[in-house]
Amino acid sequence: MKPNIAQTHSKFTQKVWAATKKIPRGKVATYTAVAAMIGNPRSSRAVGNALSQNRDAHVPCHRVVRSDGSIGGFARGTEAKIKLLQSEGVQVARNKVLKKYII
């Protein structure tokens, strides 16, 4: 269960968003990669948590996928996430982004 979403975001969460913003259009990064960018290569799970808190489009959270290329999650649904990626030129097949697009 997810009670109420806190408005005050921790340092960690902000770092996650900052790293996510750096992902270039047309490319994608894995949760682990983002975790590594902020200096916590093992916090991939926590990264997913942080991104789930972000409901705004200012952060390209749709450019973050799983390490195996599978889509992962998205507040507005997996379908929407895939569409966004494709609209940016990222090819998706069988609910997975091609490895070549992963940084």
Partner DNA sequence: AGGGTGACCCGCT
Partner DNA sequence: CAGCGGGCCACCC
1 binds DNA (CB under 7 A): yes
Of 47, 82, 85, 102, which one interacts with DNA (CB under 7 A)?
Answer: 47
As a whole number of angstroms, the distance between CA 35 and CA 53 comes to 16
- CA quadruple 93, 98, 101, 103: dihedral positive or negative? positive
Torsion (CA) 63, 91, 86, 25 in degrees, nearest 10: 40
27 binds DNA (CB under 7 A): no
Q: Is 2 in the site for DNA (CB under 7 A)?
A: yes
The residues carrying an active-site annotation are: 61
Q: Which residues bind DNA (CB under 7 A)?
A: 1-4, 6, 8, 10-13, 30-32, 40, 42-52, 54, 61-62, 64, 66-68, 72-75
